[in-house]
Amino acid sequence: MKTIAVGGFLLVSLGIATIGINGPAQNGKQTPVVDAEFKALIDKYYIEWSSMKADNAGQLYAKDADLVFYDIAPLKYKGWEEYAV
C-alpha cells in the first residue's frame, strides 16, 4: 500500500512538473519576440563563459554581497567578488 502511494505521488509530481516546464497554453502559437530575446541571452551567456573568465560572464549576474554562488571546488562562494577571484 505504501509503495502504491509513493508511486502515485511521484507520478502526480512528474505530471505537474511537465505542465510547469511546458508553460501555459498559447493556442499553439509561440511568441517570436520573447523566443528571440531569450535565445540571444543564452547565446551571450555561452559566449561569455566559453572565454573561461568569470569577469566576462560577470555582467550577466547580480553583484550583491549577500548572494551565494555554487561551483565545483570550493562548493560555495559568498558574493560575486569571491566567486570571480
Tell me the per-residue pLDDT of 29-73, one tens digit each, with 9 for 90 and over.
667 778 888 999 999 999 999 998 888 888 888 888 899 989 888
Report the distance separating Cα 54 and Cα 81, nearest Å.
10
What is the residue extent of each domain of the chain? Answer: 2-84
Q: If DSSP states are collapsed to H, E and C, what string results for 30-77?
A: CCHHHHHHHHHHHHHHHHHHHCCCHHHHHHHCCCCCCCEEECCCCCEE
Work out the pLDDT band at 85, boundaries 50, 70, 90.
confident
Tell me the per-residue pLDDT of 8-29, one tens digit each, with 9 for 90 and over.
565 566 666 666 555 555 555 6
